[in-house]
Amino acid sequence: MTQNTQQSGGQPLLALRSAIVLLLGVLTGIGAGVLTYLAQRSLPAAALAAGAGFGAGVMFFHTIIS
């Protein structure tokens, strides 16, 4: 069985560039969260750092990937 990864109109659900930018943002957020948790042993601080890392990563990679 194969899965259809495209919408009914033949267009992909997400553009390749957008998928890469979001993936790199998620990886940046995870890295920031893990490093913050290892340094402070605080889940709320790690979650805030992960969110900030994700936002900054998406903005950064959006500007450098063309």
CB of 32 within 8 A of CB of 53? Answer: yes
- For 12-50, the pLDDT digits (tens) are 999 999 999 999 999 999 999 999 999 999 999 999 999
Task: For 19-60, give the secondary structure using H, E and C.
Answer: HHHHHHHHHHHHHHHHHHHHHHCCHHHHHHHHHHHHHHHHHH
| 1 band by pLDDT with thresholds 50, 70 and 90 | low
For the chain, give every domain's residue range: 16-64
**Distance from C-alpha of 20 to C-alpha of 27, rounded to nearest angstrom:** 11
- Provide, rounded to the nearest whole percent, the portion of the chain with pLDDT above 90: 80
**pTM, entire model:** 0.81
| 66 band by pLDDT with thresholds 50, 70 and 90 | confident
CB of 6 within 8 A of CB of 13? Answer: yes
Sign of the dihedral defined by the CA atoms of residues 16, 22, 28, 33, in that order? negative
